[in-house]
Amino acid sequence: MPESPGPIALNRDRLLENFIDMLSVDSYYGDEERVAAIIRPALAPQGIRFRNDASGNLIGRWPGRGRRDGLIMLNAHMDTVQPTPTMRPVVDADGVRSDGSSVLGADDKAGLAAIIEAIRAVDEAGLEHAPIELVITVGEELGHIGSKAFDAASIDARTAFVFDAGGPVGTVVLRAPGQIRCTATLHGRAAHAGIEPELGLSAISLLARAVDRMPLGRIDDETTANIGRIEGGQQSNIVAPTARIEAEARSLSEDRLAAQIDAMRTSVADAAADLGGSFDFEEHRFYVAYQLDENEPAVQLADRAIIAAGLTPRHVSTGGGSDAHEFNLYGITSVCLGVGYIDVHTTDEFMPHDALHDITQVAAQLITQA
């Protein structure tokens, strides 16, 4: 295997500038081209020419220098959660934070910035490196839209590194959950609430009974469940004819995930049966659980790169999802790496300068050691 060249010189000012440039444009799903317009010219001097696939994913290839083997894929996503329209990144001595009016968008623009600067730094240092394929995705936050639509046959790499996990730099995700989202609609019977309420059947009462019976929160050490939205009824003088919940369950075990969804469905069915109502229950699979062995070559490469960056690898299980779910499902062994951002998806989101530097060094080490 290639020996580590030691720490690779990074241009920290350029890294920060590129990060700020990407943070300063809105890029909800559908608007990612604003970020792509920054990425393309940033890597044009390295000879990387990008194409967009049918879903809008940005795909490029950097030929190896001195090596033809060891091809790997690097991934991060361009979209962010809302809101960001009024966001102005605030740079202080410790890092970059949101101005408090919105999320920052470090998830996942810190990952993007790290990949871009790593390629620039390796190129400028004249170091040998493996060929690199870049798959920069759209719509990750809304359910892995870009990676689900991605054609795995359109690239050659079968080992990937996804820069999109929470936790400190050095985190290596070995297990990640499957997720199923479900919608339950309870049907009662409308009536005038003031004149003949006894003729009605409140769907809200049905829903309340179902929720009261439903196992929620942390179910066990591998499984969680949550109701995120409740709606129903029409107005105060009408016994509510329908009510609806939107919920999800996640588990590192597909068997436990199936059992949890069955328990949620049973709670709804029993509540409807008890009071004489009816129900509809719909499921939507978001992603499938995966597990990597610590002896997997991709995991060992991640560990070597992290150690070469002066850090300690930390193997973890996560409760979150990433594009690694889809790539692993397609047969591309994909390791999701901790980027080091803090309080993502909140208005307190923060990216420490040291973490941004460290994850960029990890990316550069991956490129040179692949």
Per-residue pLDDT tens digits for 153-207 = 999 999 999 999 999 999 999 999 999 999 999 999 999 999 999 999 999 999 9
pLDDT at 138: 98
pLDDT at 1: 60
- pLDDT digits over 96-154, tens only? 999 888 899 999 999 999 999 999 999 999 999 999 999 999 999 999 999 999 999 99
Amino acid at 208: A
Of the pLDDT bands very low, low, confident and very high (cuts 50, 70, 90), residue 68 is confident
Query: For residue 305, is pLDDT > 70?
Result: yes
List 32, 108, 117, 140, catalytic entry? 140
Work out whether strand 242-251 and strand 223-232 pair parallel, antiparallel, or are unpaired. antiparallel
List 79, 164, 303, 326, catalytic entry? 79
What would you measure as the largest C-alpha separation in the chain, in angstroms? 85
Cβ-based neighbours of 262, under 8 Å, separated by 6 or more: none
pLDDT at 4: 74
pLDDT at 100: 87
- pLDDT digits over 242-257, tens only? 999 999 999 999 999 9
Of the pLDDT bands very low, low, confident and very high (cuts 50, 70, 90), residue 323 is very high
Residue 266: burial class (beta carbons within 10 Å; 0-12, 13-18, 19+): middle
Q: Which of 97-101, 234-238, 347-351 has the lowest mean pLDDT?
A: 97-101
% of the chain surpassing 70 pLDDT: 98
> Chain-wide mean pLDDT for the chain?
96
128 is catalytic: no
* Tokens standing for residue 288: 């499938």
Query: For residue 87, is pLDDT > 80?
Result: no
3-state secondary structure 247-288: EEEEECCHHHHHHHHHHHHHHHHHHHHHHCCEEEEEEEEEEC
pLDDT at 282: 98
* Tokens standing for residue 155: 């690239």
pLDDT at 84: 66
- CA–CA separation, 204 vs 234, rounded Å? 11
- CA–CA separation, 302 vs 281, rounded Å? 42
79 is catalytic: yes
Query: What is the average pLDDT across 69-79?
Result: 96
pLDDT at 67: 85
Of the pLDDT bands very low, low, confident and very high (cuts 50, 70, 90), residue 88 is confident
- pLDDT digits over 267-294, tens only? 999 999 999 999 999 999 999 999 999 9
Determine contact, residues 72/370, Cβ cutoff 8 Å. yes
Query: For residue 86, is pLDDT > 80?
Result: no
Query: For residue 23, is pLDDT > 80?
Result: yes
